[in-house]
Amino acid sequence: MLLRVLGSAAGGGSPQWNCGCPVCAAVRSRGLARTQSSVAVSADGRRWFLINASPDVRAQIEAFPALHPRDDRTTPLEAVLLTDAELDHTLGLLLLREARALRLYATPAVRETLCVGSGILRTLERYCPVEWRAVTPGAGLALALALADGLSCRAFDVPTGKRDRFGTGQDHGRVVGYRLTDERTGRTLVYLPGVQSLAPAVRGEIEGCACLLIDGTCWSDDELVRLGLADRTSREMGHLPVDGPDGSLAQLPSLGVRRTVFVHMNNTNPILLEDTPERRIVEKSGMEVATDGLEVQV
């Protein structure tokens, strides 16, 4: 199974258009820019699945030849899976409206938000047929069109206290992670760009996987508060901080994951820069900070 990180930053990208924080300033002067949160996965290198469609999806597809159309309008893009209904994960659906049809895997809660909350799905359906495939957290999801593809996956519910911005009320399945399995090798990859706490059920999905791509939104819980950019902590926004006594750095080593990569970094996060003490701490712990274009063979 091959995974390509199309976008490794959180909503707003890095640097964010209206942000002059120290990290955005450093990225503008000497750092590596990153687009918004999305990955592409494939079992055979021919048929690809997007997990989340970011506002940067057009540039992300153009930057990855494996996602280019073969002839006329035949695209290797089989479907889009969604982890949640956040704009950084779904605005890109509107940029795929030229599709002949779009197959969309999402939980009922996410679909509900896209229909009566942000309305993105209602708008998209005015442009192209959308084939919704319901994702039931905990149930298997045979993504494979034929066994040859050998790619299956399971969504799992990620309990969250993040603001239900559109008040659709559904909590179960509002945020999910995906555990992908290459049926031929049995190796698994977990994609979890948004997680607030490593609750036992979430730990159970992560344990023993070959590669984990996990929420690296903020280095510290009070990062945005300290910068005067928000009045809510990372956890209150639904994101487990990397650092801290019960941050992901402290908790992950006990889960037996072979390779851990942080994704969905907020523009304020110092691990975005190669020469910061925070990045050195992450790397000394044997974990990685994703960049756009990172490819993982599992």
Q: Which residues of this protein are in contact with Mn ion, per CB under 5 A?
A: 10-11, 86, 88
Bridging pattern class, strands 140-141 and 102-106:
unpaired
Backbone φ and ψ of 105, nearest 5° = -100, 120
17 residue type, one letter: W
Which residue's CB is nearer to ligand MLT, number 42 or number 160? 160
User: Choosing among Mn ion, ligand MLT, Zn ion, none, which partner's interface includes residue 188 (Cβ < 5 to 8 Å by kind)?
Assistant: none
Does 241 engage in binding with ligand MLT (CB under 6 A)?
no
List binders of ligand MLT among 131-170 (CB under 6 A).
162
Judged on CB neighbours under 10 Å (0-12, 13-18, 19+), 214 is buried
User: Choosing among Zn ion, Mn ion, ligand MLT, none, which partner's interface includes residue 237 (Cβ < 5 to 8 Å by kind)?
Assistant: ligand MLT
Stretch of residues binding Zn ion (CB under 5 A), selected from 12-20, 183-191, 209-217, 283-291: 12-20
User: Choosing among Mn ion, ligand MLT, Zn ion, none, which partner's interface includes residue 238 (Cβ < 5 to 8 Å by kind)?
Assistant: ligand MLT
**Residue (of 85, 82, 111) closest to 165 by Cα position:** 85
Does 19 engage in binding with Zn ion (CB under 5 A)?
yes
Q: Are 32 and 24 in contact (CB under 8 A)?
A: no
Q: Are 271 and 223 in contact (CB under 8 A)?
A: no
Stretch of residues binding ligand MLT (CB under 6 A), selected from 46-54, 84-92, 138-146, 275-283: 84-92
Task: Identify the residue among 3, 5, 9, 10 touching ligand MLT (CB under 6 A).
Answer: 10
Does 61 engage in binding with Zn ion (CB under 5 A)?
no
d(CA 241, CA 239) in angstroms, rounded, equals 6
Does 10 engage in binding with Zn ion (CB under 5 A)?
no
d(CA 290, CA 10) in angstroms, rounded, equals 12
Does 11 engage in binding with ligand MLT (CB under 6 A)?
yes
Does 229 engage in binding with ligand MLT (CB under 6 A)?
no
Q: Please give the structure tokens belonging to residue 63.
A: 């930057």
Does 265 engage in binding with Zn ion (CB under 5 A)?
no
Can you list the alpha helix ranges (DSSP code H) found in 44-169?
A: 57-62, 87-90, 108-112, 120-124
Judged on CB neighbours under 10 Å (0-12, 13-18, 19+), 68 is exposed
Number of residues that bind ligand MLT (CB under 6 A): 9
User: Choosing among Mn ion, Zn ion, ligand MLT, none, which partner's interface includes residue 151 (Cβ < 5 to 8 Å by kind)?
Assistant: none
Which residues make up the interface to ligand MLT (CB under 6 A)?
10-11, 86-88, 162, 194, 237-238
Which residues make up the interface to Zn ion (CB under 5 A)?
19, 21, 24, 267-268
